[in-house]
Amino acid sequence: MPTTCQPYLPWAGTSSSSSESSLPQAPASPSICIPQFTFAQGAAVSGRNAIALAPSLPPISGGAGHELPKPLGNADEIADDLAGLASALSMRLRESAELAADAADRSACENAASEAGRITWLLAQGK
């Protein structure tokens, strides 16, 4: 079942008045998941930082050096796809943690796996 993102309506809950007609109108379609994507972004940064500190990994270089592709699909489909990827990443990182010989590598993988699990949970809200 796809994720159902709640519309972000910053003006919701405002009192009625004669100036109400000047308020922005809700988007006609599709709904957007501002809170889910924002919190998931924070978890992604935390996970990236956790794995970047693994002592056995080489230092991370600068940017990727290419333009990212434009997303295909609506916000609900993108949230579902990202939740699935984050879930798979979390499982792989937990498996890697079990195999890591260095305690700091184990910890880095476990921390990153927790953040990937958090992304899965955040993007699955409303399912």
Separation of alpha carbons 109 and 54, rounded Å:
8
Closest to 83 (Cα-Cα) out of 75, 110, 46, 8: 75
> Has residue 93 been placed in a domain?
yes
In a domain, 41, yes or no: yes
Q: Has residue 121 been placed in a domain?
A: yes
pLDDT in tens, the chain (127 residues): 444 555 443 434 444 444 444 444 444 434 546 777 888 888 888 888 888 878 887 776 666 556 767 878 888 888 888 899 999 999 999 999 999 999 999 999 999 999 999 999 988 875 5
CB distance 92 to 18 below 8 Å: no
Domain range for residue 40? 33-56+73-127
Confirm whether 62 is domain-assigned: no
- 125 domain residue, yes or no: yes
Number of domains in the chain: 1
